[in-house]
Structure 1
Amino acid sequence: MIKSHMNGMAGGNGVLYPIIGFSLCVAFTYMSFGDMWVDIRGETKLSFVERNGTQFMVDGKPFNINGWNSYWLMDHGVDESSRSRISAMLQAGAKMGLTVCRTWAFNDGGYNALQISPGRFDERVFRRFCCTGLVYPTWLFAVPPGAPIWYLSFNACAFLWQSLDHVIAEARKHGIRLILSLVNNLQAYGGKTQYVQWAWEEGVGLSASNDSFFYDPSILRYFKNYVKTVLTRKNTLSGIEYRDDPTIFAWELINEPRCMTDASGDTLQDWIEEMSNFVKAIDRKHLLTVGLEGFYGPKSPKRLTVNTEFWAADLGSDFIRNSKISTIDFASVHIYPDHWSHTPDFEYKLKFISKWMLSHIEDGDKELKKPVMFTEFGLSTENKDFDPSQRDRFYKVILDIIYKSAKKQKSGAGAFVWQFLVEGMEKYNDDFGIVPWERPSTYRLFTEQSCRLARIQGALPSQKEHLKRLCWQRR
């Protein structure tokens, strides 16, 4: 009945096809995904994070961060089978009172690459079409003569799935802000190695050295094009350009930059200056950081004893010099004493943490006059004497120092554990990853930190309901 009736209409007036097809597509999409659309465009209100001296500010109030790393979010947005983990992780972070997640906004050259080659992007990774396995009536896909091109696009798929777009929209829905890193110093997910390889393959590369990423004109152009594409990207879910979206806490230029072919640090310094100016020329609304590990270099001789070992001064980076650039809004530091030191003693590692963090916080207060964020910290399961209880002690030292800094309005503005996962993610785990709720004592450490910081600065609107449950019962 329906099929013959539609055939009759087609013969009489083909113009009804696009109208009917579009209407059914909209109806199905609304019924299936309407709640998500409402959430994305609905009540969650976020303001841009600003900086006032050594403090972050939101709506005129101090903002100290209890955050975490889930680098894998965008990668999981490409495949429908794994996309639910994005929502699960962001929702879990919100329920813990956490406020900022640091994640990758890059995937260069490899599997599910966002940037396939210089200037060529896989729109699936920005956004993905997915028909959700629904079987449509065959007449729905019959394209009448003269139908506009958008007819097929609307009928070919019921819903537009996003990857990086989806991550940002989901974060907003849960009141979580994001630090988005733009490239990797390491080879994982492409990184500077991929950029150098691209230049070499095109016959324009100056050197096969990975460090040519920081000075080769062709590679600088590749990276600037990528940065501009990301910053000016219009989110297909929210309609907001990334540079205008307060869900993004900050941009990070590069994860853990090192330029070992120039221990003086001049090459990396020039790159940071050039790229930070480029970012700020496009986007002055968001904060910007480098992505440093925090090692002191030859321009900071009085601080060299704070480094774990002598080699740390020869990596081409320099915490104070790199972070002092006017276009860099806050400093970033990582904490991995078990990977940086040959000393296996756990008590030594705890002492190092305190010395390392307090030194950088003092630099933020006196030298940089900017906030300092400890954007990665972790303790490896591969240590010979590893015991899960050591992690709790390790984490507690870090969280306590951040709490004390917040109480005294010092520059230590936040800490981000590496890394949080949800269940069933063994493939993405490393020797630092944890599912936080699987160990109650660890879970309590992070939720208590959320409560302690909220008592100092007040709860954000997105935190209030969660903190009622977490904090009031502990009084």
Structure 2
Amino acid sequence: MVKSSSSYNRMVGGNGMLFPILGFASIIAFIYLSFGDLLVSDDRYKKNDMNMSFVERNGSNFIVDGQLFYVNGWNSYWFMDHAVHDHTKPRIKQMLQAASKMGLTVCRTWAFNDGDYNALQVSPGQFDEKVFKALDYVIAEAREVGIRLLLSLVNNLDAYGGKTQYVKWAWGEGVGLSPSNDSFFYDPSIRIYFKNYVKTILTRKNTITGLQYRDDPTIFGWELINEPRCITDRSGDTLQDWIEEMSTFIKGIDNKHLLTIGLEGFYGPKSPKKDTVNPEFWAADMGVDFIRNSAPSTIDFASVHIYPDQWFKRKSLKGKLKFVGDWMHSHIEDGDKVLKKPVMFTEFGLSDLNRGFDPSQRDEFYKIVFDVIYESAKKKGAGGGSFAWQFLVEGMEEFNDDFGIVPWKRASTYEIITRHTCRLAKIRGAYKPIAGNMKNICNGRL
């Protein structure tokens, strides 16, 4: 609207100075509206800057500030999803603070939700900013308590979209080569979708901390895909090609963070261990191979899962627990002698749906996993750490599966976890962000 000259004179007070003042005020208002949250929260979320360095790899060991670093970690895949809504958002802080009190150091969680409820990626290359801010919040809160995050980038399974959603997108847009879920690994259009997604994640500027994800040491590392399988090519060539291409792409954008695949750890059809170590015959036919997949120089550490009650149907509990030790020793030996890289057991769990299940059986299982890691750590071996699947807080029963626990609700389980924290701390020295907690956690055990 054009104002009259008399109106103009009243506005500027007859001296022509009001417009510049209003212009300056508008700039200040714009800056505050755009970046106010960042300005207000800078101090709180950046106070740990001096305590956070990138985790690096030296041969088959992780190091932080030149010191050995062994992980006592856990899975809370639900962080980003729950951070979206105000009524569930407090669970992230509650879980992280409880983990810090146990001396846990790394949480594995999802940095994906493709085309599902609370989707981060609504469609190829289209993101929901509200959900992205929820992931920003998760990273900022982890930084606040000195806990790092292992962020997974896509799911082989259907939950939270996964590779199935990528295939649906390509098929729906008329560019897909095949409706097979495994076309995720070889379809050129889908590879472009995924690369665009990965680039967006890695270069995302956190609206709370002001750091791009690729520059934030709060992130322990990236995981390419949760539990990849490509059963349409049992030779493993298709998956291997995908791993090499995607890991090279990621390293071209972010060479500061560690990278792993997300394997379950099965040995392939040409491996001499397929008949002696694999859980059953089917494991060699999943289109994966632990050694071959983990070998590229762009992969910094190997990943393995442990689910004896899912992989065996007839074996006794005693037999399953024996398998756990053998399985872990075999992969750590591979890390020490073949791969020359750390090996992380990024999921392990025992189902409470087993016939005759008692929580003491899960305690025994956890103890075996922790003992194997500790024995490797004492020798500065490749057993880099373990992540229980999964930890929850109270009131999350509807999100639980048959593996989840609230660890502080059972005293014996809590003791096993904190004892492992203290044993690892004794080997590596107190880790900076949790050093202040160690005296209370370990109660003279260091």
TM-score (norm 1): 0.86
1:56 paired with 2:62, answer: yes
The one of 320, 324, 348 aligned to 1:377? 348
**1:105 aligned onto 2:76:** no
What do the CA deviations read for 1:164-197 (whole angstroms, capped 9, x no partner)? Answer: 1111111111000110000000000000000000
8 Å contact from structure 1 (residues 10, 16) kept in 2: no
Alignment of 1:430-449 (within 5 A): 430-449=401-420
- 1-structure distance, mates of 2:115, 2:39: 34
Partner deviation per Cα, 1:332-387 (whole Å, 9 max, x = no partner): 00000000111241111110001100000001011101000000000001101110
Aligned partners of 2:48 and 2:143 also within 8 Å? no
What is the Cα-based RMSD across aligned positions, in Å?
2.3
Conservation of the 8 A alpha-carbon contact between 2:48 and 2:146:
no
Deviation at 1:19, TM superposition (A): 4.6
Verify the 8 A CA contact 1:49 1:286 in the aligned structure 2: yes
| Structure 1 residue aligned with 2:52 | 46
Deviation at 1:428, TM superposition (A): 1.4
Deviation at 1:22, TM superposition (A): 6.9
Cα pair distance change 1:266/1:20, threshold 3 Å:
closer
Aligned mate of 1:266, from 231, 237, 261: 237
Alignment match, 1:296: 267
| Equivalent residue number for residue 395 of structure 1 | 366
Equivalent residues in 2 for 1:65-464, closer than 5 Å: 65-127=71-133, 163-464=134-435
Give the distance between the partners of 1:283 and 1:36, measured in 2 at CA. 26
What's the offset of the Cα at 1:34? Answer: 9.0
Q: Is the 8 A contact 2:56 2:63 kept in 1?
A: yes
Q: Which runs of 4+ in 1 moved over 6 A?
A: 9-18, 20-23, 32-35
| Paired residue secondary structure (1:47) | coil
Letter in 2 for 1:294: G
How far, CA to CA, are the matches of 1:356 and 1:278 in structure 2? 31
The whole-number CA distance in structure 1 between the counterparts of 2:26 and 2:257 is 43
Q: CA deviation at 1:426?
A: 1.2
Counterpart of 2:82, as a letter, is H
Contact 1:297 1:304 in 2 (8 A): no
The amino acid of 2:101's aligned partner reads K
Q: Which amino acid aligns with 1:413?
A: G
Residue 418 of structure 1 deviates from its aligned partner by 0.2
Distance in 2 (alpha carbons) for counterparts of 1:270 and 1:317: 11
Structure 2, unaligned runs of 5 or more = 1-9
| Stretches of structure 1 lacking an aligned partner (at least 5 in a row) | 1-8, 128-162
Q: Distance in 1 between matches of 2:136 and 2:277?
A: 41
| Secondary structure at the counterpart of residue 373 of structure 1 | strand
Preserved contact between residue 64 and residue 406 of structure 1 (Cα < 8 Å): yes
Task: Name the aligned partner's letter for residue 326 of structure 1.
Answer: S
3-state SS, counterpart of residue 446 of structure 1: helix
**Secondary structure of the residue that 1:112 maps to in structure 2?**
coil
CA–CA distance in 1 between the matches of 2:12 and 2:406?
Answer: 59
CA distance in 2, matches of 1:83, 1:444: 28
The offset of 1:109, in angstroms, is: 0.2
Task: Tell me how far 1:38 sits from its aligned partner.
Answer: 2.6
Counterpart secondary structure, 1:199: helix
Residue 239 of structure 1, CA deviation: 1.0
Q: Following the alignment from structure 1 to structure 2, what is the Cα–Cα distance between the partners of residues 100 and 70?
A: 10
Contact 2:56 2:62 in 1 (8 A): yes
Q: What residue number does 1:158 align with?
A: none
Aligned mates of 1:60, 1:42 — CA distance in 2:
22
Quote the offset at 1:16 in angstroms. 6.2
**Cα deviation, residue 77, structure 1:** 1.2
**Contact 1:100/1:178 (8 A) holds in 2:** yes
Q: What is the Cα deviation at residue 74 of structure 1?
A: 0.6
Which secondary structure does the structure 1 equivalent of 2:432 belong to? coil
| Deviation per residue, 1:380-434 (Å, 9 max, x gap) | 0110111011000000000000011000111011000000011111121100000
SS of alignment partner, residue 88 of structure 2: helix
* Structure 1 residue identity aligned to 2:302: A
